[in-house]
Amino acid sequence: MAEPTDISDQRLLKGARARASIARHAADVASAEGLTGLSLGRLASDLGISKSGVATLFGSKEKLQLAAVDAAREVFVDHVVRPALTHPRGWPRLRALIDNWLAYIDEPVFPGGCFRTAGMVEFDSRPGPVRDALKADHDDWFALLEQEIRRAQEQGHAADLDPHAVAFHLDALISAANTAARFGDDTAIPTARAIIDRLLDA
């Protein structure tokens, strides 16, 4: 792509960068205080910009929530999914996904810990576009996990269990470890790891 030369291109890029940076901060706030705790005014005040500026970029609280979900999804892909793609498909990639996921829980990128766990639980009873976006993100993640579980099984690993049940089981253990670790239980992440090792080596 050529460098932007005219003023409107530069404005567009500046707007896109501002949008991404506000969305990322919104994901940080939401991870600790909930997506419902987000507000255009709060974000503007945190970032030292005008509320009308944030409103111009996002339009509504719901659009800001959706942008926070997108931003959190990208962070998860960057930390957990992308580095695993360098490993061969199937068993090695599944192990890499799980290792990255546990590391992501152990040293959380978001101040409130795992964004997906927090968002899913917060919105499980609130129908609407935000819940739909969280569900779509969750379903994509499960589809990726199930694909690698199926391949690992074809390679003779990870026991003869339904791939969706294995994905559910992994997600349950790691989400619970995230919450327990945030409540000060230092045994939670090693416990989850040991259970997962037993589960996959069976």
Task: Single out the segment in contact with its own copies by CB under 8 A; choices: 13-21, 58-66, 99-107, 157-165.
Answer: 157-165
Residue 19, number of CB atoms within 10 A of its CB? 16
User: Residue 30 or 57: which CB sits closer to its own copies?
Assistant: 30
User: Residue 57 or 130: which CB sits closer to its own copies?
Assistant: 130
Dihedral of alpha carbons 32, 24, 62, 104, sign = negative
The two structure tokens encoding residue 64? 């800001």
Cβ contact 80:105 at 8 Å: no
Measured at the CA of 7, the angle between CA 5 and CA 11, to 5 degrees, comes to: 110
Q: Which of 99, 107, 38, 105 is nearest to 71 (CA)?
A: 38
CB of 193 to its own copies, least distance (A): 11
Residue 109 as a binder of its own copies (CB under 8 A): the answer is: no
* Binding-residue total with its own copies (CB under 8 A): 41
Interface positions with its own copies (CB under 8 A): 31-34, 36-37, 111-113, 117-118, 120-122, 124-126, 131, 135, 138, 162, 164-165, 168-169, 171-173, 175-177, 179-180, 182-183, 187-188, 191-192, 194-195
